[in-house]
Amino acid sequence: MSVLQNIYENGLVGIIRGVQPDDILDVAKSLHQGGIHTLEITADTPRILQVIEQLREELPEEVIVGAGTVLDAETARAVIMAGAQFVFSPTVNIDMIQTTKRYGVVSIPGALTPTEILTAYEAGGDVIKVFPARSAGPNYIKDVNGPLSHIPLMPTGGINLDNIMDYFQAGAVAAGLGGSLVQAKKKYTETDLAELTEKAKAYVEKVKAFQNNVQ
């Protein structure tokens, strides 16, 4: 299965931001145990390149590891060389998209307006991250999905257990989960990790139920 197919099938991207590098592997394993197999490590993480290398080496093959908050082509190349299988960005940077695609890696740029979304897609974006989704809401995804139904959209920012189904019903192909799933600046204990696994399972159950209903 390709990385892009994996993202579609999983339907969820767990965003690991603000977690201490020494805790990231345990957090990633807990998310995997909960059924979330697509993980984004933000590029502002200390020792990000070593973290990506470690995750690629120690996690099961079905786990997809990528980098997020990538703002330029140079950073995109660096994380790809470290093993990132996809590159997320909160913005539309044509050079970054083209660099990512040059190395055969899935590109997921961030955009908000219809013009930005179309520009990012035509530049080579595989999926467009609608960000910040919190400010737009599910109805915005539905409205944009009308004239731009050929462009796969992944809302990110403000997605939680209460509203995630609204976004999928509006036409999202996947969703990015940030602070509602993984808390930043937290020292994760064994109890915290177990709770994280259960929270991941709750998200997975909702998405799988939706996917089964539309098949």
Give me the active site residues, please: 40, 129
Q: Which ranges constitute the DSSP H helices of the chain? A: 3-10, 21-33, 48-58, 73-82, 94-102, 114-122, 133-136, 138-145, 164-169, 190-214
- DSSP-assigned beta bridge partners for residue 66: 40
Dist. CA 151–CA 170, nearest whole Å: 13
The secondary structure element, H or E, covering residue 15 is: strand 12-16
DSSP 85: S
